[in-house]
Amino acid sequence: MLNFDHAASTPAHPDVVATVAQVMEAHSGNPSSIHRAGQDAARLLRRAREVCAAALGVTPGEVLFTSGATESNNLAIKGTMLGRSDGRNHIVTTAIEHASVYASCRQLEDFGFEVAYVRPEADGTVSPQRLLEAVNERTALVSVMHVNNETGAVQPVEEIGRRLKSLHPRALLHVDGVQGFGRLPLDLQAAGIDLYSVSAHKNGGPRGVGLLMVRSGVKLLPLLSGGSQENGMRAGTENVASIVGAAKAFRLAAEGQAQRAARLNALRETLAAEVRRHGALTLTEPAQAAPHIVHFTFPGLKSQVILHTLEELGVLVSAQSACAAKTEKPSRVLEAMGRDRPHATSGIRLSLGEEHTQEQIRLLSEALDKAVGRLAPFEGRKR
Ligand code: PLP
């Protein structure tokens, strides 16, 4: 099987697997225990926090470990809004955020908060001007993703951050960095980012671990109550082995970013050219595309049908995103971009990673040729 679904999850890096196994075998303490085994685990946790902080260019005190980016996004959004006492109850986000941001905002609306969902331009890029026009004096939080997980559109978060901080310095900026980290450079400090979410399993790390960078001085209401772990911000015994593995994955991802981006961009260009060759497919072409995502639509067919045809041909891809894969509903992201129903229900994401080579792109292109040949006669029948 050829796995072209690296935006959903990446194969674990062998060094990470070895590290996780080693920590699980050799360290059984609870980092909150004050005896030797506990302190040993606490030391591992401290070191992992330092490694993550260096990978992100922040201080260790600004790193909060979570169960993944879904939790990081929930905590960034609900924690910020529920923890306020200054009466500002307005959020600005975009209509194309990951489900964990979108659903958090929707939930807050049920509790009386106001949310502006800014639509992207037709190419999937959010205009900083349109976003900033939605911000007002009551806005407590702006939440924008770095890279859209469905289309691969890179969002101008640096410009958004710079302009937001000069116009509305009291509004906090949260960036969901899950699909950008390790693929694109981003200076969190220069971009004025107060909260930043990342996920280990998108970078060769274990599933079920993530972190939230919380800029020093930013106050959040914890979502999990109990012990005083994570500086009182997240109760529960830390997943020490996975956190140590995640730290290794984040370090490798940050160190290899420039090289990885150059390599993936070259693969992406070949693949995009292959998609463009097919008259039946519409390549999604954002102003700036992330190095690892190629997205197209096959109007007249359902995403799931295309996905399963490619699977029969030995290729794993994604319909919309992994979280939305089981629904036949039109993609919220493509609809927000103004795509009609035949396009919005036929999106396919191909995503690249460490293991891919030009040879694998060639094999994928062959499978794509066959899939288009098989499916083109059915195109439009069920419109
Ligand atoms: N944000 C984006 C942009 C994602 O792509 C994902 C995962 O698909 C998440 C958040 C959620 O990450 P996790 O799987 O760690 O909960």
Kindly report, residue by residue over 42-94, the tens digit of the pLDDT: 999 999 999 999 999 999 999 999 999 999 999 999 999 999 989 999 999 99
149 DSSP assignment: T
Among protein residues, the one with the nearest Cα to ligand 1's atom 12 is 69
Residue ranges of the chain assigned to CATH 3.40.640.10: 14-252
Distance (Å) from CA 68 to ligand 1 centroid: 8
Residue 382: per-residue pLDDT: 47
Query: Distances from the Cα of 76 to the Cαs of 104, 141, 167, 206, 222, in angstroms?
Result: 10, 9, 22, 22, 10
Task: Residue 24: count other Cβ atoms within 10 Å of its Cβ.
Answer: 14
Residue 377: per-residue pLDDT: 78
Retrieve residue 379's tokens.
Answer: 């195109």
What is the number of the ligand 1 atom nearest to the C-alpha of 323? 8
**Cα–Cα distance measured from residue 215 to residue 222, given in angstroms and rounded to the nearest whole number:** 15
Residue 239: per-residue pLDDT: 97
Residue 328: per-residue pLDDT: 72
Look-up: residue for tokens 């976003």? 131
Distance (Å) from CA 187 to ligand 1 centroid: 20
> Helix, strand, coil shares of the chain as percentages rounded to 5?
45, 15, 40
**Cα–Cα distance measured from residue 22 to residue 40, given in angstroms and rounded to the nearest whole number:** 14
Q: Per-residue confidence of the chain (383 residues) as pLDDT tens digits?
A: 999 999 999 999 999 999 999 999 999 999 999 999 999 999 999 999 999 999 999 999 999 999 999 999 999 999 999 999 899 999 999 999 999 999 999 999 999 999 999 999 999 999 999 999 999 999 999 999 999 999 999 999 999 999 999 999 999 999 999 999 999 999 999 999 999 999 999 999 999 999 999 999 999 999 999 999 999 999 999 999 999 999 999 999 999 999 999 999 999 999 999 999 999 999 999 999 999 999 999 999 999 999 999 999 999 999 975 555 566 789 999 999 999 999 999 999 999 999 999 999 999 999 999 999 999 877 765 44
Residue ranges of the chain assigned to CATH 3.90.1150.10: 2-8+257-378
CATH superfamily of the domain spanning 2-8+257-378: Aspartate Aminotransferase, domain 1 (3.90.1150.10)
Retrieve residue 242's tokens.
Answer: 């996975």
What is the number of the ligand 1 atom nearest to the C-alpha of 147? 3
14-252 has CATH 3.40.640.10 classification? yes
Ligand 1 site: residues with CB under 6 angstroms? 68-70, 73, 98, 100, 145, 149, 176, 178-179, 199, 210, 321-323
Residue 229: per-residue pLDDT: 97
Q: Is the dihedral of CA 290, 62, 245, 256 positive or negative?
A: positive
SS3 state at 3: strand
Selected catalytic residue, list 99, 283, 305, 323? 323
Residue 292: per-residue pLDDT: 98
Residue 383: per-residue pLDDT: 43
Ligand 1: residue of 101, 202, 207, 242 to mutate (most ligand atoms within 8 A of CB) is 202
Q: Are 275 and 320 in contact (CB under 8 A)?
A: no
Q: What are phi and psi of 116, to 5 degrees?
A: -105, 125
Distance (Å) from CA 381 to ligand 1 centroid: 34
Distance (Å) from CA 175 to ligand 1 centroid: 12
- In 3D space, the residue among 266, 264, 301 whose CA is nearest the CA of residue 281 turns out to be 301
52 is a catalytic site residue: no
